[in-house]
Chain A
Amino acid sequence: AQTVTQSQPEMSVQEAETVTLSCTYDTSENNYYLFWYKQPPSRQMILVIRQEAYKQQNATENRFSVNFQKAAKSFSLKISDSQLGDTAMYFCAFRAGAQKLVFGQGTRLTINP
């Protein structure tokens, strides 16, 4: 069974700083996708970024980028120039084929003014 682990329950940084959220996963699959979702106080989960396992190039979406280390089964999220609106819970997730989406426990990120 696949597992996803986020070792940082909470993080806090100042506005405009760069922050990195950690995620590790365990799987025997070779082809899969990894995701980072953001859940603001409105509760609606929003996809931030996704990475295909067979693509070596790290995905980027504006201020958000990932560091995908397939051999180490690590998938961290970097947020550059953090903004107050980035304050939210962040969930790392894994999916292989048509199997269920598996989430980590989440990291509560607070951006301070």
Chain B
Amino acid sequence: KAGVTQTPRYLIKTRGQQVTLSCSPISGHRSVSWYQQTPGQGLQFLFEYFSETQRNKGNFPGRFSGRQFSNSRSEMNVSTLELGDSALYLCASSLFIGQNEKLFFGSGTQLSVL
């Protein structure tokens, strides 16, 4: 069974641009969550989707948005990029949402904002 696939692996953008990151979950998984990882802030939760509906949202500005499609694939978008958005963005999938759900992570997208 294929794992969680995130594309692209690396991305370089300039301030003010927008970016879209993609995440394909493990087949059969209906929940996808996104995390931002930086050396200073560690791992911060962005949002979580289940069956195309956003179920949880972290404390990020409205420039960060996401969506989930009917095939469970998810995208996150960051508009008007700032230098501080440079980070590793990780996606995880699971069968359902719940405290006992095992999350499977992708290898992330490394975003650099210049």
Instruction: Decide if A and B are genuine partners.
Output: yes
- B-contacting residues of A (Cβ < 8 Å)? 31-33, 37, 42-47, 50, 52, 91, 95-106
Contact residues in B for A47 (Cβ distance below 8 Å): 102-103
Q: A32-B99, A33-B100, A98-B99 are in contact. Are A46 and B43 (CB under 8 A)?
A: no
Q: Is B28 an interface residue (CB 8 A)?
A: no
B74: min CB distance to chain A, Å: 16
* A101 in contact with B33 (CB, 8 Å): yes
* B58 in contact with A98 (CB, 8 Å): no
User: How far is B33's CA from A94's CA once the two chains are assembled, in angstroms?
Assistant: 15
User: How far is B56's CA from A102's CA once the two chains are assembled, in angstroms?
Assistant: 12
19 CB < 8 A contacts A-B:
A32-B99, A33-B100, A44-B105, A91-B43, A95-B99, A97-B98, A97-B99, A98-B55, A98-B56, A99-B56, A100-B33, A100-B48, A100-B58, A101-B33, A103-B35, A103-B43, A104-B42, A106-B42, A106-B43
Q: A33-B99, A44-B107, A100-B58 are in contact. Are A105 and B88 (CB under 8 A)?
A: no
User: How far is B45's CA from A99's CA once the two chains are assembled, in angstroms?
Assistant: 11
User: How far is B6's CA from A92's CA once the two chains are assembled, in angstroms?
Assistant: 23
A95: min CB distance to chain B, Å: 5
User: How far is B99's CA from A105's CA once the two chains are assembled, in angstroms?
Assistant: 20
Contact residues in B for A31 (Cβ distance below 8 Å): 99
* A98 in contact with B97 (CB, 8 Å): yes
* A98 in contact with B98 (CB, 8 Å): yes
User: How far is B62's CA from A62's CA once the two chains are assembled, in angstroms?
Assistant: 44
